[in-house]
Amino acid sequence: MFDPQLQADVLNQALPYIQAFRGQTFVVKYGGSAMGNAALMEGVIRNVLLLQLVGVRPILVHGGGPEIDSWLNKLGIEKRTLGGLRVTDEPTMDVVEMALAGRANKSLVAEVQRLGGRAIGLSGRDADLLQAVPVSSELGRVGAVTQVDPDVLKVATEAGYIPVVCSVATDAEHRALNVNADTAAAAIAGAVGASKLILLTDTDGVLADKDDKESTISTLTQAEAQSMIDTGRADRGMIPKLEAALTALKHGVGSVHMINGGTPNGLLIEVFTDRGIGTMMAAH
């Protein structure tokens, strides 16, 4: 039942967090695995809008692995991955860009607008936001970020827009490269001086045992994260996530949070209460 006293208490308890985070930039990475359901997406975007209204500058970076997979499938192009990254030949790169910069980006922009916010959709190729070089010949058009030009993000956030960024980057010849979205989010978080990088995915955080959904690690040190990668306790999508977290912390981001995009109000719980959910990695 609606309890006005309880509702007022909740708002009141958020005061110290709102005071602490006002004016700070948070990069929120929304993974394709947690983007599939319209009701969940609405919940996440409402939380992002609330963050902005209490003075945080949110930047939304998104993936769209399942969206890419479904278009590859329709076009009869085989999917291959290596170490959690998509092997990206030229036809695959076309599909990646169409799916990420097109469908995935615009559906998030539309959702922000529908819920009363102002969003500007960007690809890493816009304003040279994400510059990259090919990682290896084996991976084809997969890019490693070499430089971020955060200017356009600054202009947009200062004007009250929520930037919605997809992880397609530009190479030196102005051609597209496919960057893992966690990697892109970490590079952006470092370049804009974000205080938090929040990765929303489809597990409750980093699992000590990847086959046991109940084994979420609440606090992970950088050494433990490295060891999970080295010993194979993290695989597939979790490897780029842990590597991204380590990169972000190295570049001055205050903390990295990995939470389930499907937990109702998960973002608000993580940011505005001391009962964090998911996995937190701090700089020290």
Which residues does the annotation place in the binding site for substrate?
64-65, 86, 178
- State which of residues 43, 57, 60, 86 lies at the interface with ligand X2W (CB under 6 A): 86
Which of ligand ADP, ligand X2W, none binds 57 (CB below 5-8 Å, type-dependent)? Answer: none
Per CB under 6 A, which region of 111-119, 140-148, 168-176, 202-210 contacts ligand ADP? 202-210
By the rule CB under 6 A, 43 interacts with ligand ADP: no
Does the annotation mark 237 as catalytic?
Answer: no
Nearer CB in complex with ligand X2W: 112/181: 181
- Alpha-carbon span 51 to 269, nearest angstrom: 12
Q: Is 207 in the site for ligand ADP (CB under 6 A)?
A: yes
Least Å from the CB of residue 147 to ligand ADP: 23
- Which residues in the 148-207 window bind ligand X2W by CB under 6 A? 167, 178, 180-181
- Residue tagged active-site, from 43, 84, 140, 182: 182
Choosing from 121, 190, 196, 241, the catalytic residue is 241
Q: How far apart are CA 282 and CA 220, in angstroms?
A: 8
Q: Which of residues 24-53 bind ligand X2W (CB under 6 A)?
A: 31-33
Q: Pick one of 203, 247, 255, 263: the residue that binds ligand ADP (CB under 6 A).
A: 203
Spot the catalytic one: 29, 117, 121, 266: 29
Q: Which residues are catalytic?
A: 29, 32, 65, 182, 241
